[in-house]
Amino acid sequence: MTTLTKENQSLLTNQLAKALVKFSENRISYLKAEEVANVVMKKVDFSNSALSHKGINWFAKDLIKQFRI
């Protein structure tokens, strides 16, 4: 599993939270999105090439679809 610096992890968590709000069309608040992003980012395997290739926006859309937000 690839590890990130705290700064990079914080940046990615923030980007994921913003993407969750954007792609949910504001159906979830930023605070709730940040809470979800914090939990999810702790479990993400950054050595997964599919995630690295597709990026945060794809990941956010997939989360929204899975949880029917």
Secondary structure (H, E, C), the chain: CCCCCHHHHHHHHHHHHHHHHHHCCCCCCHHHHHHHHHHHHHHCCCCCHHHHHHHHHHHHHHHHHHHCC
pLDDT score of 46 more than 80: no
User: Residue holding tokens 């690295």?
Assistant: 52
pLDDT number for residue 54: 85
Q: How confident is the model at residue 22 (pLDDT cuts 50, 70, 90)?
A: very high
pLDDT number for residue 9: 87
**Mean per-residue pLDDT for 24-41?**
95
> CA-to-CA distance for 59 and 16, rounded, in angstroms?
8
| Amino acid at residue number 46 | F
- Each domain of the chain, given as residue ranges in start order, spans 6-67
